[in-house]
Structure 1
Amino acid sequence: MLQRKIMNQLIAWKSREQRKCLLLQGARQVGKTYIVEEFGKQYYEHVITLNFEKNSSYRDIFEGDYDVDRIVARIMLAVPGSRFVPGKTLLFLDEIQSCPNARTALKFLSIDGRYDVIASGSLLGIGYGEVSSFPVGYIERVTMYSLDFEEFLWALGIDPAVIEYVRGFYESRTKVDESVHAQMMDYLRQYIVVGGMPAVVRNYVEHRDFLQVLDEQRDILADYEDDIAKYAKDSDKAKARACFLSIPKQLVRDSKRFSYAVVEKGSGARKYGGSLQWLYDAGIVNFCYCLERPELPLEGNADNRKFKVYMRDTGLLVAMLEDGSQKSILDGDLGIYKGAIYENIVGDMFAKNGRRLYYFEKDSKLEMDFFIRYQDVATAVEVKSSTNRQAKSMRSMIENYGVKRGIKLSPGNVGKAGEQVDVLPLYMAMFL
């Protein structure tokens, strides 16, 4: 069993005296169903699962009124042997996006409160307009991602004490033992190639075969394309697929700002904006918004018309590249993709730590890869593929834009690049 941090969030939810229904969101194949079933086995006497995609007849249960006793009676008829005991039963509504009425019923199940309810949805195909009464205020939302870097290390069998040992160098800003640093960079390169999709990680842990990893990843990418064809609106199908396939090309441009012209020459947001938003809602991509000013509050300074797009799982991004890219990355030779790959992995790590993504760009002459709120200061984050400690863009931010703190992430060890700039190894992004 892969150890997942989200299990602690589920346990914390169960410990609350007043529990709303829990909606577990996330892209397909990140492990939502598996983790809820494991949670149910460990913490409940009775678990009833309704998967609306595997068994479409379950949708009939939620036709008509939303009286909880009637819903329970219908479930007991549809699922022989199911038992509903207050406080001891978990009702798991899987792939709830396929049953809008079940989404509405969450309000009434939450008000009733006798049974714990977790709903899971990949966001694919959720017809918001079809939901007769959106259960605002009656559900708690949690987003699940593919494995983060720390969870990947756990899967490889790395003792948590080792990770805490590395964290000590981060907190003290002291140089990591060279052998430890080299090993951590090797693990990071493995994570970049493998990514965090549970099926892919399990395959890698069992076989250590990167060709099998690539086959598994490309199956997932094919499933995503199938989902686009199945769930996107007819007018969005081809456009969403075109946006999806353009992501590697977007990231190798000098200016990594998303350009609709890369998707189709002469096109713009009017034609492709909705399709790109669909990919975000499906949990496939992350947006990184441009700041108008490099200062807090970051959200208040964001220009939503200018943004970069990153894949939410870097392993899947690598699988979209040409054959041979895996070996090049493992060898540390990233070619034209070096900036794109490292930026994507840092963005991925930040997002999995709960951060929204922002960057700064000025007249195409100055770009700072990321900005984060760090120790209550707007902090510039520069991602480099080399160990060169020169930080011209960072110095410009500090001298000309009043930025007080910078962090440079690179393959090198811990150090300084001026009084206000910390240099940290790329893998320490997981601690930021």
Structure 2
Amino acid sequence: MRRKIYDKLTEWKKNNGESALLIKGARRVGKSYIVEQFAKAEYKSYILIDFNQASNEVKDLFEHFLTDLDTFFLYLSSIYNVKLYPRQTLIILDEVQLFPRARSAIKYLVADGRYDYIETGSLISIKKNVKDILIPSEEDHLEMYPLDFEEFLWALGNETLMNVIRDCFEKKRPLGQALHRKAMNYLRQYIIVGGMPQAVDTFIKTNNFDKVDKAKRRILNLYRDDIRKHADNYALDVEAIFEEIPSQLKNQHQHFKLSSIKQGARFNEYKDAIFWLSDAMIANNCYNSTEPNIGLRLNLDKRLLKCYMADTGLLISHAFDENNLVSEEIYKKLLFDKLEVNRGMIVENTVAQMLVASGHKLYFYANASRDDVASRMEIDFLIAKSKISNRHNISPIEVKSSKNYTLSSIRKFINKYTEQLHTPYVLHTSDLKEEDGIVYLPLYMTPLL
């Protein structure tokens, strides 16, 4: 599958030898696959060291021969039966979190300068995976996400639709009825299938939602296994939060209420568990920014958050659990936009996924003032414009999953935060329009914000 991260790998290669590259992503997001494809296409030779199955003989090289790199490379070349070429060989340290000593060795390998290095892994920052090692400063970092909407279109063989969408977004022009309907149909497929490569591949090959659902469910079970194996003393807390995500998103305001897990639960009790799911890139956490101004991060209230699944396709399999299989009927209702409940949860999770894939951190704004009605509002997302100026930096975003909706919060925001306001957006199921200073965008334009 064609992935945008490939271009970033190519850009990194131009710096040839100045740093290693660490690619972090959730399990089954396609890290190993894309790096090996890159190695085959861009290098004369490569070695892939998979620490899921690397022998003790290989691991011993990192323990005993880093002060003698001539011998290190001689043995490595012999073990994998691969000839090494200076500046033309890539060495891949796959699932490097399973052997942190290899990650700390990057300092010496990069300084040696003979070859290029890419590390891949999940759970990279979990405490036990960085314990007792020196994190190398010679690492550039990339995060890899599930396929975004445009990559999904490419996988389905459509190379042109996103170009039209992008052109209409830039010119603030609607697509028109026929193209809008086509784009929304693709978007619903993307929501249902999600962006995990195995699920997309199954959909392309079979067009069978039962098989797609089983592929997604295998990934969810893998995540549960990871939680039990790697979340240490708070595995039960992490699993409780993970299982609770769908029901929490179903709530009207979707704030994560820890009291649903345990009576009287406090944020400090669960903050490590919440971080674990975010760091594993299984969940996208969205925090309340109490002051919608420059530096949204500076005004975080981490106690008030929304917890989205990193992939909406996985959310659907996680949420509609009927005898361990989401029924074909539910998938058909989603495909034809006939599902009457939980639609808001699904659409908002999709927007969160698209914003993260486009490089945004997730923030929302909530003010529950009992005394000032004009200040009482909730905005689904806040984003800052790319070039910050003295004023007008923040765009509020409201997400609407149906054709009938009210806009009381965003209108209050426009009135109250005139100095901070950039462009207010409503993401909805209809085509593009501008009205009363608000830009209404079809949901499939979210990645372009």
**What TM-score bracket applies, with the shorter chain setting the length?**
over 0.9
Please tell me whether the aligned partners of residues 378 and 405 of structure 1 are also in contact (alpha carbons under 8 angstroms): yes
Q: What per-residue deviation string (whole Å, max 9, x for no partner) do you get for residues 377-422 of structure 1?
A: 200000001224642211110112323430000001111241x210
Q: Could you list the runs of 5+ residues in structure 1 that have no partner in the other structure? A: none
Decide which of 396, 411, 428 is 1:380's aligned counterpart.
Answer: 396
Distance in 2 separating the partners of 1:158 and 1:130: 45
Provide the residue aligned with 1:84 in structure 2: 84
Paired letter, 2:117: V
Paired letter, 2:276: W
- Are 2:4 and 1:5 equivalent residues in the alignment? yes
Q: Could you list the runs of 5+ residues in structure 2 that have no partner in the other structure? A: 321-325, 370-375
Please tell me whether the aligned partners of residues 97 and 129 of structure 2 are also in contact (alpha carbons under 8 angstroms): no
Distance in 2 separating the partners of 1:270 and 1:357: 21
Paired letter, 2:384: R
Q: CA deviation at 1:21?
A: 0.7
Distance in 1 separating the partners of 2:416 and 2:44: 62
Distance in 2 separating the partners of 1:415 and 1:29: 38
Distance in 2 separating the partners of 1:425 and 1:117: 41
Q: How does 1:276-425 map to 2 (within 5 A)?
A: 276-322=274-320, 323-324=326-327, 325-363=330-368, 365-374=376-385, 376=388, 377-388=393-404, 390-402=406-418, 403-418=421-436, 420-425=437-442
Distance in 2 separating the partners of 1:295 and 1:101: 42
Distance in 1 separating the partners of 2:384 and 2:358: 13
When the two chains are superposed, the root-mean-square deviation of aligned CA atoms in Å is 1.7
Paired letter, 1:358: Y
Q: What per-residue deviation string (whole Å, max 9, x for no partner) do you get for residues 19-73 of structure 1?
A: 3011111011000110011001101111111101122423222113522334323
SS of equivalent residue, structure 1 residue 405: coil
Distance in 1 separating the partners of 2:292 and 2:30: 37
Provide the residue aligned with 1:31 in structure 2: 30
Distance in 2 separating the partners of 1:349 and 1:318: 16
SS of equivalent residue, structure 2 residue 382: strand
Distance in 2 separating the partners of 1:69 and 1:260: 55
Equivalenced residue count is 426
Provide the residue aligned with 2:372 in structure 1: none
Q: What per-residue deviation string (whole Å, max 9, x for no partner) do you get for residues 228-285 of structure 1?
A: 111121x212111111000001111122121111222322223322112111111101
Paired letter, 2:448: F
Please tell me whether the aligned partners of residues 13 and 19 of structure 1 are also in contact (alpha carbons under 8 angstroms): no
Distance in 1 separating the partners of 2:41 and 2:168: 36
Q: CA deviation at 1:312?
A: 0.7
Please tell me whether the aligned partners of residues 98 and 129 of structure 2 are also in contact (alpha carbons under 8 angstroms): no
Decide which of 259, 266, 269 is 2:267's aligned counterpart.
Answer: 269
Q: What per-residue deviation string (whole Å, max 9, x for no partner) do you get for residues 350-400 of structure 1?
A: 100111011000017411000011364200000001224642211110112
Please tell me whether the aligned partners of residues 97 and 126 of structure 1 are also in contact (alpha carbons under 8 angstroms): no
SS of equivalent residue, structure 2 residue 82: coil
Paired letter, 2:414: I
Q: CA deviation at 1:126?
A: 6.4
Paired letter, 2:290: E
Please tell me whether the aligned partners of residues 394 and 406 of structure 1 are also in contact (alpha carbons under 8 angstroms): yes
Q: CA deviation at 1:306?
A: 2.0
Please tell me whether the aligned partners of residues 104 and 131 of structure 1 are also in contact (alpha carbons under 8 angstroms): no
Percent identical pairs in the alignment equals: 36
Provide the residue aligned with 1:100 in structure 2: 100
Please tell me whether the aligned partners of residues 358 and 370 of structure 1 are also in contact (alpha carbons under 8 angstroms): yes
Q: CA deviation at 1:339?
A: 1.6
Distance in 2 separating the partners of 1:333 and 1:107: 55
Instruction: Using structure 2 for the length normalisation, give the TM-score.
Output: 0.91
